[in-house]
Amino acid sequence: MSASQTKNTRDESRGNILTNHTWSNGPDSDDELARENELLNENMVSPSHRRLTVEEQSAYNMTLFTEGKMRRKLKFFFMNPIEKWQAKRRLPYKFAVQVIKIVLVTVQLCLFAHNNYMHVNYAWDNRIAFSHLFLKGWDATQEVALYPPATGPLAIYKKDDFYRTIDYALDGYYNLSNAIGSYSYTAEDNSVDTVVLCLYHYKEGIIFGFNESYVFDKEIIEVCINITTESYNLMDTSKRLLRENQININFSALVRAHLKFALKTVNLKAAGPMTPPDCYQFNITINFDNRDFDGQMLLSLDAKPVRLQCKGDTRYVTNNRIESTLRTLLNLLVIFICTLSLSLCSRAIYRAQLLKYETMNFFMKTYGKTLSFEGRLEFLNLWYVMIIVNDLLIIIGSALKEKIERKQFGTDYWNVCSIFLGTGNLLVWFGVLRYLGFFKTYNVVILTLKKAAPKVARFLICAILIYAGFTFCGWLILGPYHMKFTSLASTSECLFALINGDDMFATFSMTSFESPMLWWYSRIYLYSFISLYIYVVLSLFISVIMDAYDTIKVYYRDGFPKNDLQTFIAACTDKASSGLYRDDSEKSDLSMLLDRFCCCRKSPFYGSVSGSSTEFSTKSDQTCGTAVCI
């Protein structure tokens, strides 16, 4: 047999030999097989594949246990109330508190809305009655605010009309018995009170129109006179009364004037099965406005209602203490439940921040990296922030409501209370979306708004800049000639209405024809704005929302993108009903409170993967010393 054949025969009989951690052909002899086993043993104890010592294996197992426990802890934190009940049999007390709060707050709002409507409507109806009784020239067509207005403003144009208007108001005040309404004077014996007339005029204001000259001092002087029924009856007219008191009115310098008096009445309509009638005092002011000095002195009446504590309810059958007690009880329940909700949500936000720092510490110790910004934001629940805000609003509104119902305010706080309660109730019902968001079908709207919010904000910045340009331009050019553009606010409101297709023809037709140039400019201005915003800006705005909606639908089909925290939690496949979460249950709040008094309280410490087993043990927060641990 030749040498080459002998070599081939030896090559065919070679087995596998591990050389430099790779397999190659080798002999099948006993010696070489022993060498193979030796190399395999060396490979098993190599740095990458060697057997772990008992300590290292214990550390590795502790790391896996710690990761699993942290994953379950985070997964439980982000569960919905139903899953938390399945996981640890923990009652959804925050959800129950929110449901109770919605019921109580809504009942409270409905009762207050009814009372507020009656209060405002009663005050408005009495203001109309006072206008007929005390305002000379008042007409029924001015009672309803029409658009465009059917009549011009109520004003006086002659000096004699100024005095006649004062005389008309005084005659009406001194003859209250002729009024249909049951009005009385504010004195306890129903005697006629004093009427106050105040005049505000420039210190000097003389105009010489024939030679374009004037004498002017801008300092405003206030002159007031108390008019009694005896003095008025003696002088017969207000003009003679003012002259008798050496008050000469210079209408060229008169800025404004007002006539003040007060009346009392009782609202019997407010009485119900458990509600007594309401007693009111109306502080009436008749205003003469000559600030424009344009020959037109505007005339208006203002009546501010003040609720009083009724004294003579002895003839009323039902005891009003029942109604007062029930309303007070409802207000106290609302304040209590909102305070409880505020405390629970504040505690939830605080615990979320503690868990965030614990997670950041875990990521740093275990993986050597920091938690991403998106991952840290997951621990900030804006729903809880919104609930805290509406709790504060409702607590303040309920306190104001209780003060109003007890008639402890000397001024009218109905509108302030309505703003607090109404805004708080609005946010309360918004909070229901949080629980609907746990269901896929209802969560689409919330996710679409969240996804579209950055793009919408950038888009609105550009749209607002264009809108501001049109607003300032329209106010400057069309303001003197168009009633919808008389102020910056009314111009903005008109343009916003045009965007939504409201009252377009009236806006075009009300433009003044005094200047053909301005008339044509107004057409170009309105056509440009309407075309740009309706056909371009609104379409782009809708497309931004639809793009976000399409993206959310793709996410539902292919999966949502995950940050590092969500990816870490996704590795936990333990179901809520598996029972593992109950094994990981932490101590109760009472036990934690007791531990805080013990100096040996321990907190978990997360070490690195390659550390010893002692790095995964707990470390004492402080030294025991001679203290006794509970």
Predicted local distance difference test score (pLDDT) of residue 436 = 78
Structural domain of 111:
93-115+319-434
Do 285 and 376 belong to one domain?
no
Does residue 8 lie in a domain region?
Answer: no
Do 504 and 551 belong to one domain?
yes
Q: In this structure, which amino acid lies at residue 156?
A: I
Do 305 and 323 belong to one domain?
no
Tokens of 156: 């006086």
Predicted local distance difference test score (pLDDT) of residue 343 = 94
Predicted local distance difference test score (pLDDT) of residue 18 = 40
Q: How far apart are the C-alpha atoms of 611 and 195, rounded to whole Å?
A: 91
Predicted local distance difference test score (pLDDT) of residue 35 = 58
Does residue 52 lie in a domain region?
Answer: no
Does residue 592 lie in a domain region?
Answer: no
Do 179 and 301 belong to one domain?
yes
Q: How far apart are the C-alpha atoms of 303 and 259, rounded to whole Å?
A: 12
Q: In the β-sheet with 297-308, what is the strand arrangement from edge to edge?
A: 155-156, 297-308, 278-289, 254-267, 195-208, 213-227
Do 157 and 298 belong to one domain?
yes
Tokens of 40: 């395999």
Q: How many domains does the chain have?
A: 3
Among 516, 469, 519, residue whose Cα is nearest residue 495? 469
Predicted local distance difference test score (pLDDT) of residue 12 = 44
Asked which of 310, 344, 370 is the last residue of a domain, the reply is 310
Do 459 and 504 belong to one domain?
yes
Do 266 and 296 belong to one domain?
yes
Number of helices followed by number of strands (H, E) in the chain: 20, 10
Predicted local distance difference test score (pLDDT) of residue 10 = 43
Do 111 and 215 belong to one domain?
no
Tokens of 474: 């329209």
Q: Where are the alpha helices (DSSP H) in 175-310?
A: 229-235, 238-244
Helix (H), strand (E), coil (C) string for 304-329: EEEEECCCCCCCCCCCCHHHHHHHHH
Asked which of 258, 279, 310 is the last residue of a domain, the reply is 310
Task: List the CATH number of the domain containing 564.
Answer: 1.10.287
Q: How far apart are the C-alpha atoms of 131 and 138, rounded to whole Å?
A: 7
Q: How far apart are the C-alpha atoms of 546 and 552, rounded to whole Å?
A: 10
Type and span of the H or E element at 22: strand 22-26
CB 70 within 8 A of CB 580: no
Under-70 pLDDT residues of the chain? 1-52, 56-57, 59-60, 270-275, 312-320, 409-411, 583-630
Tokens of 318: 């039902």
Predicted local distance difference test score (pLDDT) of residue 605 = 44
Among 427, 349, 334, residue whose Cα is nearest residue 384? 349
Does residue 600 lie in a domain region?
Answer: no
Do 230 and 142 belong to one domain?
yes
Buried b / exposed e over 562-599, threshold 16 CB at 10 Å, is: eeebeebbeebebebeeebbeeeeeeeeeeeeebeeeb
Long-range contacts of 475-479 (CB under 8 A, 24+ apart): 477/518, 477/521, 477/522, 477/525, 478/511, 478/518, 478/522, 478/525
Q: How far apart are the C-alpha atoms of 298 and 289, rounded to whole Å?
A: 5
Tokens of 347: 């505690």
Do 294 and 152 belong to one domain?
yes
Does residue 578 lie in a domain region?
Answer: no
Does residue 281 lie in a domain region?
Answer: yes
DSSP-derived letter for residue 625 is T
The strand pairing partners of 267, in sequence order, are 278
For 472, residues 6+ apart whose C-beta sits below 8 A from its C-beta are 488
Does residue 250 lie in a domain region?
Answer: yes
Does residue 499 lie in a domain region?
Answer: yes
Tens of pLDDT along 139-156? 888 887 777 777 788 999
Q: In this structure, which amino acid lies at residue 273?
A: P
Do 210 and 293 belong to one domain?
yes
Tokens of 218: 């801008």
Do 103 and 244 belong to one domain?
no
Asked which of 284, 310, 336 is the last residue of a domain, the reply is 310
